[in-house]
Structure 1
Amino acid sequence: MYTNTIQGVAPSRLDDGFKLKPLSQRLALAHAALLGFAVCLPLQASAADKQDAAQLAPMVITGVAQESPIKVVTDPRIPRQPVPASDGADYLKTIPGFSAMRSGGVNGDPVFRGMFGSRLKMLTNGGEMVGACPNRMDSPSSYISPENYDKLTVIKGPQTVLWGAGSSAATVLFEREPEVFDEPDYRLNGSLLVGSNRRFDRSIDGAVGSKEGYLRVLANASKAHDYNDGDGDRVPSRWNKWNTEAALGWTPTDDTLLELTVGRGDGESRYAGRGMDGTQFLRESVALRFKQENITDTWAALEAQLYYNYADHIMDNYKLRSITKPAMATQVDTRTLGGRIKGTWQWDAFELVAGVDGQTSEHRLRARTGSSPMMGRTHSNMAKDAEFNQWGAFGELTWTLTDSDRVISGLRLDRHKVEDHRDYLAHRRAIPTCPAASTSCFANPTANKNRTETLPSAFVRYENDLQAIPATVYIGLGHAQRMPDYWELFSASNMPIGKPPTSYQPTAFTTADPEKTTQVDFGIQYSQGPLDAWASAYVGQVRDYLMFVHTGNNSQVDNIDARIMGGEFGAAYNFTSNVKGDMSLAYAYGKNSSDGRAMPQIPPLEARFGLSYEQGDFSSAALWRVVAAQNRTDEGRGNVIGKDFGPSSGFGVFSLNSAYRLSKSWKVSAGVDNLFDKKYSEHLNLAGSPDFGFDDNPTRVNEPGRTWWTRVDMSF
């Protein structure tokens, strides 16, 4: 186990930008409650007078139901339980079927149905942010602040071809809607949250405009210190992050939109489950989109988009932790430029969406060096090690057979090109030079070479609105071929484990084949009277599944064949007009059919049970999350950042929340997560770092103990 004392750390460099004196836990909670009631009550009357003020839902969301066949849609701005999320992965965990690779308090990596990494296509306003860290410390979801978006959509399985190549597990869309003003006006939304472990979040979202255009500005910041687990032991997990966005829109007609968006963010975080911490998560984004609707009687819309995303990530082992070993730092960055153009055509029984898209991404790194204080703070000696290019064409057709029957099908074809710019290799990284007498590095046999692949994807789905009962059923067959990503081609060890680099050895760049997923998705959506219920299931086969094999500090990528199956189920029942119960269940199963082993890194069976009460402007809810033990493991195998290291125990966590709408414009919500201070850890987890007193034997990082939080929302 690990000790209860965390070694001292240097002051946060990001704290300089906020100048906030830390509050004790009790004082912070009292401050939030008093702020909510003392400020909101005097404003209740005046806010009520503003007839067009947005009305906030008096609730806290504890789970998300499926809205339609294969699709989940929700509003990421509504408070969630557990404590409202600070990044994309944390937020997705409230959707049945999602879990996350955990290593501390923030920046987990989302997993859906046991599928990880680029099997999840994750887009923000149609653009893709690619992380830079070779071990995904800055996963794409770590750059997403959920409250900056108006809508979150999850499309399950390989059941769409509209949003890029390789989305074999799911497509996740964080989207912002255009602003609409009929006359010169404004709106303003904001929130403030405080909680245990000095959690302090604040956000603002405002817009001004008229019928001809608008300006929208969003800004948020989130910070927290280390949390205590259920035994009261401190878990290194502090973070401090901020994001800003500005969108300028021009709407010369009701059917035309031209919008320019710019954004920037940064942060830092220390990790109980890693040997280094993230001391910079710099993000810069620029996007331009155009949309024209109602072009002709059949040509319904034309959309075009260009985006540029830049991630500059620094990690080290000395700024946020005390160490006795040599100080080290690494800087990596990724520049991604992409775009798409698509049109929508509609006829009596058909709708066609078709277009083209493309993306180019360049990755650079600075090799690890010693403890120079300025290490990692400049761009000198940054060397490009990889470049990815993709071009694709796609089409998706909806055929309405009758008022109750539909067939949706899609096809896309992608051309991929990957270039290897590494001159020398040394196990898990590229290096700038290789001494002649060295036995730990060798010249890269694929230096300045490239590989190309042409990969198809397709699906067909039948949906039927049943006549006998108020339900929709569906069944779909999808096939997706996925190009190996940066982590699969470049992050694994560059030589067979245990063998010296005395001769040519093939690397993952040449040996990792594209992954091919064929999957059947089926389910039902039911709603009548007090009962809403839904179920979605899948069964599939993955040829050439890309799996990591870890031995010590080395890793390799192997292609295997796998069988997968599972599903999600949910139901909600209104016992009375004020009392509602809901539950959900998620299960994933995987088998390595190449050797008969269990698939690694598969989340266990998970259930959620909720009970809520709502009366007028007041609501209260309870959530019981129950997770089964996971005994189907394959030790030493997994993905680029995680591996199985034995079975995990089951657990149950009980949480409570309440919310009160003070007026049309003000709401206060509060909650306590893990009410009974349960000590537990997630199955998908990293082993604790010895730097923080964890044993040499793999020890999972525990989750937070009892956590209190209070949030104030306002909208004008």
Structure 2
Amino acid sequence: MKPFSLNAMALAVACAYPLTTLADDATLEPVVVTAPAMKAPLEVSFDPRAPQQPLPATDGASLLKAIPGMSVIRKGGTDGDPLFRGMAASRLNILLDGEQILGGCGMRMDPPTAYVFPDSYNQVTLLKGPQSVVHGPGASAGTVLFERKAPSFDKPGYQVDGALTVGSFGRHDELIDVKAGNPTAYVQGILTHAESDNYQDGDGTEVHSRYQRSSATAIVGWTPDRNTRLEFSSIHSAGEAAYADRGMDGVKFDRSNYGLKFEKKHLGGLVDAVDAQVYYNYVDHVMDNYSLRRFMPTAMMANPSVSNPDRKTTGGRVALTLVPGERTQVIAGLDQQSNTHTVRSSMNATAMPYEAKPRTDDAAFRNLGLFAEATHELSDSRRLVMGLRADRWKAEDRRQTLAVGMMSMPNPTRGQTREETLPSGFARYEWDHAGGGTAYVGVGHARRAPDYWELIAKESTGSLSAFDSLKPEKTTQLDVGSTWKQGAWEASVSGFVSRVDDYVLIQTAYAKPAMGGMTRTTTVARNIKATTYGAEAGVNHAFNAAWKGLASLAWVRGQNDTDDRPLGQMPPLEARFGLDWTQGRWTAGSLLRVVAAQTRYALNQGNIVGQDLGPTSGYSVFSINGSYRWNDSARVTFGIDNLFDRTYAEAISRGGAMVAGYDRILRVNEPGRTFWVKAQFTLK
């Protein structure tokens, strides 16, 4: 794939734009996102197009890392897996413009956030804990919403938004977003491109991590009146990425998506609004050990090898907003999702190209959910929020055989089907402070069905297949917290305690009997009992009109109650401190990230994304940024991440693999000192 490039286009439009000056006495808010705060109960929201420090790779996971309590498992330069409070994958429900999209790779090269191009969205929202039921099944740790704002025109017009980012290690990203319309219709086109060479850590060691990513989005909308919208969208993206944590790279990440939405608001009766959408998504993924790296034959892999999984997902949702009383609002509806996974591969790509082989179905999933969520105002300052959900989940194991080392064995669960009804619900009490802010206390329960990577990609302790033995997770969680605002102070705190029955634990290096009285080690999925608890806190203070300080803290602990040991993949205590300055057209800022040592770990235990590798030492990283804005339509932001060129790796990280021509390290280290500049403009 040769991705398109927008460098020349973005620079030409930016240079041609006639800039107007900003008044000398005008003041501007800082434009760099460093630690977005919780503004409403259990909700963190920010603009993904705002520059961010540390400068993220252009995927959704690195964007989310700015949120306190969020971690990312690094595998290379892009496509990391996000975790919130140590919970990953299907425990963290991720929706792209209302659609639940799943990747194809059985080794998690392409989590849902790998198909997120942040500049093509307008808002990112994290909903903490099992405290909402309207955004799909699971969500025991939380829900992440990547959302676009529909264009609106009071008269015929257009708008062009553009951005160009350049940085160290050959990094450059481009965005062009063009909208045009009138009061009754609109069109929108978005092109994004991003690429980077291999980065270096603080010691100057090169990490196998280069990537390139491109996307094209087309949207057509019909708005016969202010309260009605019908919208069709088409999204196509492609990419490739080198990985430092495994023996293969992702040489193809193709996605095709089509969606149709209908929205009708302010109907004025019992049914006040109707929202409906349907979508189709197809992911075609290829990984091999020769396209992006030098092939090195081994005893286990003597020839160039390739695997080509794909996944086809269809889904839809209908929700009604009901107003049964003056102080009561109910959102009720249903959602559905079906997906089929296939794979084809070749252990000798030279002699037997994978393209010539037929695809083989290995699994199919279906989920139908019914939900209702009500908000009842007890008074002007107190409210009760409640929700119930029931999901009918079905999974089918279509694998004929299973690979055991170099051998192929019959699948003991071939053709089996599982069906479960999974109830979820929550209740939360909120009350507003007299001075400003809201406090809350809530209890939620979520049942999560095991996902593809747990049921299909893993063994059980007593069988070659985990399909028939793995139970759904049952999470019960207490959430408490508050937001607070008083004068120049703004603060928030959120805490939780969670009990998880039948937690799905992934364990590597598990010994099992083999032929001839021998033993072998493999990766298994098994159910345990677990307890997790933790908190996030943040405070912002405006010292005066020019200076503003911020601080945040995130802490989480997990316990494997069955094995009486720490729960794997729990991040250590982390604090962030920032100081921002704003004066007229200029802003400047700094970010100090301090991470404690992690001595609580469970070697070889974790989740489908990664397992604990051992203890880690603490570290601190300091970054600075600045910006200049000519007017409301043009600005440039610049920064230096990891100013002192520290060499470090996150506690939650994948282990380094043997890659020809690169030094092997215990963990995939983070980038060293990184310089970057981002220019943005708007034409209307």
Give the alignment of 1:295-310 within 5 angstroms: 295-310=267-282
Query: Which of 649, 661, 685 matches 2:629?
Result: 661
One-letter amino acid of the structure 1 residue matched with residue 402 of structure 2: L
Q: 2:474 — aligned with what?
A: 516
Q: Is the 8 A contact 2:54 2:641 kept in 1?
A: yes
Mapped pair 1:100 → 2:78: no
Shift in Å at residue 579 of structure 1?
Answer: 0.1
Q: 2:543 — aligned with what?
A: 575
Shift in Å at residue 511 of structure 1?
Answer: 0.9
Mapped pair 1:367 → 2:345: yes
Distance, in Å, in 1 between the alignment partners of 2:248 and 2:282 is: 22
One-letter amino acid of the structure 1 residue matched with residue 307 of structure 2: T
Give the alignment of 1:266-415 within 5 angstroms: 266-325=238-297, 326-346=303-323, 347-372=325-350, 375-376=353-354, 378=355, 380-415=357-392
Q: Is the 8 A contact 1:123 1:129 kept in 2?
A: yes
For normalisation by structure 1, the TM-score amounts to 0.90
In structure 2, list runs of 5 or more residues that go unmatched. 298-302, 511-520
Distance, in Å, in 1 between the alignment partners of 2:199 and 2:57 is: 15
Distance, in Å, in 2 between the alignment partners of 1:675 and 1:82 is: 11
Instruction: Provide the secondary structure at the position in 2 that maps to 1:508.
Output: coil
Report how many aligned residue pairs link the two structures: 663
Give the alignment of 1:438-517 within 5 angstroms: 440-467=407-434, 469-493=435-459, 496=462, 505=463, 507-517=465-475
Of all paired residues, the percent bearing the same amino acid is: 42
Mapped pair 1:231 → 2:203: yes
Shift in Å at residue 57 of structure 1?
Answer: 5.8
Q: Is the 8 A contact 2:57 2:77 kept in 1?
A: no
Instruction: Provide the secondary structure at the position in 2 that maps to 1:330.
Output: strand
Distance 1:695 1:203, change over 3 A: closer
Distance, in Å, in 2 between the alignment partners of 1:488 and 1:349 is: 43
Give the alignment of 1:616-655 within 5 angstroms: 616-655=584-623
Show CA shifts across 1:552-599 (max 9, x none). 772000100000000100000001110000011101100001121000
Distance 1:192 1:559, change over 3 A: same
Q: Is the 8 A contact 2:551 2:575 kept in 1?
A: yes
One-letter amino acid of the structure 2 residue matched with residue 516 of structure 1: K
Distance, in Å, in 1 between the alignment partners of 2:122 and 2:232 is: 17
Show CA shifts across 1:309-328 (max 9, x none). 11100000111001221211
Instruction: Provide the secondary structure at the position in 2 that maps to 1:142.
Output: helix
Distance, in Å, in 2 between the alignment partners of 1:617 and 1:293 is: 40
Point out the more displaced range, 389-398 or 75-84. Answer: 75-84
Distance, in Å, in 2 between the alignment partners of 1:71 and 1:91 is: 16
Shift in Å at residue 493 of structure 1?
Answer: 3.4
Point out the more displaced range, 419-428 or 181-190. Answer: 419-428
One-letter amino acid of the structure 1 residue matched with residue 482 of structure 2: I
Show CA shifts across 1:467-509 (max 9, x none). 3x4331100000000000000001113675xxxxxxxx36210
In structure 1, list runs of 5 or more residues that go unmatched. 1-12, 22-31, 50-54, 429-438, 497-504
Q: Is the 8 A contact 1:427 1:495 kept in 2?
A: no
Distance 1:648 1:373, change over 3 A: farther
Instruction: Provide the secondary structure at the position in 1 that maps to 2:61.
Output: helix
Q: Is the 8 A contact 1:130 1:336 kept in 2?
A: yes
Distance 1:98 1:58, change over 3 A: closer
Instruction: Provide the secondary structure at the position in 2 that maps to 1:118.
Output: helix
One-letter amino acid of the structure 1 residue matched with residue 454 of structure 2: E
Q: 1:10 — aligned with what?
A: none
Distance, in Å, in 2 between the alignment partners of 1:427 and 1:116 is: 27
Distance, in Å, in 2 between the alignment partners of 1:511 and 1:150 is: 42
Distance, in Å, in 2 between the alignment partners of 1:202 and 1:390 is: 37
Shift in Å at residue 43 of structure 1?
Answer: 2.2
Instruction: Provide the secondary structure at the position in 2 that maps to 1:662.
Output: strand
Shift in Å at residue 375 of structure 1?
Answer: 3.3
Instruction: Provide the secondary structure at the position in 2 that maps to 1:487.
Output: helix
Shift in Å at residue 371 of structure 1?
Answer: 2.6
Distance, in Å, in 1 between the alignment partners of 2:229 and 2:648 is: 49
Distance, in Å, in 2 between the alignment partners of 1:201 and 1:116 is: 27
Distance, in Å, in 2 between the alignment partners of 1:44 and 1:398 is: 47
Query: Which of 535, 540, 544 matches 2:498?
Result: 540
Q: 2:575 — aligned with what?
A: 607
Distance, in Å, in 2 between the alignment partners of 1:176 and 1:427 is: 45
Distance 1:307 1:393, change over 3 A: same
One-letter amino acid of the structure 2 residue matched with residue 465 of structure 1: D
Q: Is the 8 A contact 2:274 2:318 kept in 1?
A: yes
Shift in Å at residue 666 of structure 1?
Answer: 1.0
Mapped pair 1:584 → 2:576: no
Shift in Å at residue 663 of structure 1?
Answer: 2.2
Q: 1:199 — aligned with what?
A: 171
Distance 1:41 1:578, change over 3 A: farther
Instruction: Provide the secondary structure at the position in 2 that maps to 1:567.
Output: strand
Distance, in Å, in 2 between the alignment partners of 1:351 and 1:664 is: 37
Distance 1:379 1:181, change over 3 A: farther
Instruction: Provide the secondary structure at the position in 1 that maps to 2:471.
Output: coil
Instruction: Provide the secondary structure at the position in 1 that maps to 2:19.
Output: helix
Mapped pair 1:65 → 2:37: yes
Shift in Å at residue 374 of structure 1?
Answer: 7.8
Distance, in Å, in 1 between the alignment partners of 2:401 and 2:93 is: 31
Q: 1:245 — aligned with what?
A: 217
One-letter amino acid of the structure 2 residue matched with residue 328 of structure 1: S
For normalisation by structure 2, the TM-score amounts to 0.94
Shift in Å at residue 645 of structure 1?
Answer: 1.4
One-letter amino acid of the structure 1 residue matched with residue 18 of structure 2: L
Distance, in Å, in 2 between the alignment partners of 1:348 and 1:401 is: 11
